[in-house]
Amino acid sequence: MDLLEFIHTRRSIRKYVDRPVSLEVIKEIIAAGTSAPSAGNQQPWHFVVITDKDLLKRASEIHPHAKMARDAAVAILVCGDPGLEKHKGYWVQDCAACTQNILLAVHAKGLGAVWCGVYPRQERAEGFRRLLGIPEGIIPFALIPIGYPAEESRRVDRYREDRVHYNGW
């Protein structure tokens, strides 16, 4: 599959079969995330890998749109570290690029995932901070439940010519 077709066929997957994901694959996925661009190459991210079923269940209770986490094999919580910033305020963009790379790597490995936004919702961030012992100064950014898909996905064309402007608005 060519790269553009690959990008177009990546979908949010919310249903998973009961099958573990190896630590080797998880590391490959995170490594792909860390290959994302970041402002000044600051790489202001940390990752919490959640494989414990009780923690996955509790994570699904913290985030109102992450119910699928209880059935996931693993979830990765991408966190930002503003203390690592060279260029103030760009950690959010950096973590977003990292999260997208993770989603693409998941797709490449034949797995499914969904991006569940945490930042800027303080109640979600604090819930994950308490659940996982995340230190002050580290900001939970996105929860990514991952597993082998139990649902089919298909390409959807989302291009909208009315939202594309050339040489000005």
- Local confidence band at 154 (pLDDT 50, 70, 90 cut-offs): confident
Give dist(CA 97, CA 114) in Å, integer: 15
Task: Name the pTM for this structure.
Answer: 0.95
Domain tally for the chain?
1
CATH of the domain at 70: 3.40.109.10
Q: What is the mean pLDDT of the chain?
A: 96
**What's residue 1's pLDDT?**
74
Per cent of the chain over pLDDT 70 is 100
**What's residue 124's pLDDT?**
98
Indicate whether 56 belongs to any domain.
yes
Query: Residue 140: which domain range?
Result: 3-150
Indicate whether 40 belongs to any domain.
yes
pLDDT tens readout for residues 60-82: 999 999 999 999 999 999 999 99
Burial label for 39, CB within 10 Å (0-12, 13-18, 19+), is middle
Indicate whether 169 belongs to any domain.
no
